Amino acid sequence: MQKITKAVIPVAGYGTRFLPVTKAQPKEMLPVVDKPIIQYVVEEAVASGITDIILVTGASKRAVEDHFDYNYELQSWLKKQGKDKAREEIKKIADLANFVYVRQKGPYGNGTPILCAREVIGDEPFVVLWGDEFIYAKPPRAKQCIEVYEKYGDPVISGIKVLHENVSKYGIAEVKHIEKNIYQVFSLVEKPDPKDAPSDLATHGCYVLTPDIFPELEKLGPGKGGEIWLVDAIKALMKKRPVYTCQVENATYYDTGSKIGWLKANVDFALQNAELKDEFLQILKEKLK
């Protein structure tokens, strides 16, 4: 079986939920403590064995490209200032992976950037991660999903159990339990009413896909909102081969593309930071008095 080494991360969206701050700054570059969201996503991919990161970008996303580039001027200045630790951190960002940038072309929707990466992916299995959200898990979510793919040889979507009353916020899977934390997916229902939900398993965030997804994307007409949706291509693929979901273990989901999710991530990661934890906790206690 071919080893998975490539990940596609779409970063071309407008970030409307964060306007006006995203008018001139990519939503993927919003900081969670001292690192932008997109760096957490890339680090997850790298920790899962990915060596090649394909970032599908759009207008006004230059900052994302610059973040993963070598900034020799900054490195030189840090060296002169004796800030060796900071210089090493900056250098490590560019050394994380091989970065490829593809400009998105075509209709709106989250299926389009995947299709735009086709020539870079070639005839290989690959991972898709979104650039404005991440799941913190041990082992990493993408690694857990890749291991399921390596066992079964079919596409895999990450899954998270959600409270039944919250299923209307997510895409919910109709599933059959296979073993342990692995399920076969038979249908995907977008934001169902709780009384109609086929399960409490939300499937989103990480996709291990095979190259036969590309013809399905090509055949798609406009879906909801007149856009091209990856989930519609996966539904079509389900008619031809099994698709699985891996219920991610030891996981915390951060929807950092939303204001409340971004705030939660900053609180959680600040409380995990040895330099910030005590002082930040004291501030929170004072605010809650």
Letter for the amino acid at 251?
A
Task: Give the pLDDT band of residue 60 (cuts 50, 70, 90).
Answer: confident
Q: Report angle CA 28, 127, 68 to the nearest 5 degrees.
A: 40
Q: Output the pLDDT for position 102.
A: 96
Q: Express each pLDDT in 219-264 by its tens digit.
A: 987 777 678 899 999 999 999 999 999 999 888 989 898 999 999 9
Q: Output the pLDDT for position 218.
A: 92
Q: Which domains does the chain have, with CATH numbers?
A: 6-257 (3.90.550.10)
Greatest Cα pair distance, the chain, in angstroms, is 63
Model confidence at 1: pLDDT above 80: no
Q: Express each pLDDT in 100-133 by its tens digit.
A: 999 998 778 889 999 999 999 999 999 999 998 8
Q: Output the pLDDT for position 70.
A: 87
Output the 3-class SS for the chain: CCCCCEEEEECCCCCHHHCCHHHCCCHHHCEECCEEHHHHHHHHHHHCCCCEEEEEECCCCHHHHHHCCCCHHHHHHHHHCCCHHHHHHHHHHHHCCEEEEEECCCCCCCCHHHHHCHHHHCCCCEEEECCCCEEEECCCHHHHHHHHHHHHCCCEEEEEECCHHHHHHCEEEEEEEEECCEEEEEEEEECCCHHHCCCCEEEEEEEEECCCHHHHHHHCCCCHHHCCCHHHHHHHHHCCCCEEEEECCCEEEECCCCHHHHHHHHHHHHHHCCCCHHHHHHHHHHHCC
Q: Express each pLDDT in 192-205 by its tens digit.
A: 888 888 999 999 88
Percent of the chain with pLDDT over 90: 68
Q: Output the pLDDT for position 257.
A: 87
Model confidence at 213: pLDDT above 80: yes
Angle between helices 141-152 and 37-47 (to 10 degrees): 40
Over residues 66-84, mean pLDDT: 91
Task: Give the pLDDT band of residue 189 (cuts 50, 70, 90).
Answer: confident
Beta bridge partners of residue 127, listed in sequence order = 7, 208
Letter for the amino acid at 134?
F
Letter for the amino acid at 229?
W
Over residues 134-142, mean pLDDT: 92
Q: Output the pLDDT for position 112.
A: 93
Task: Give the pLDDT band of residue 169 (cuts 50, 70, 90).
Answer: confident
Q: In the block, which residue shows the tokens 């959200």?
A: 133
Q: Output the pLDDT for position 196.
A: 87
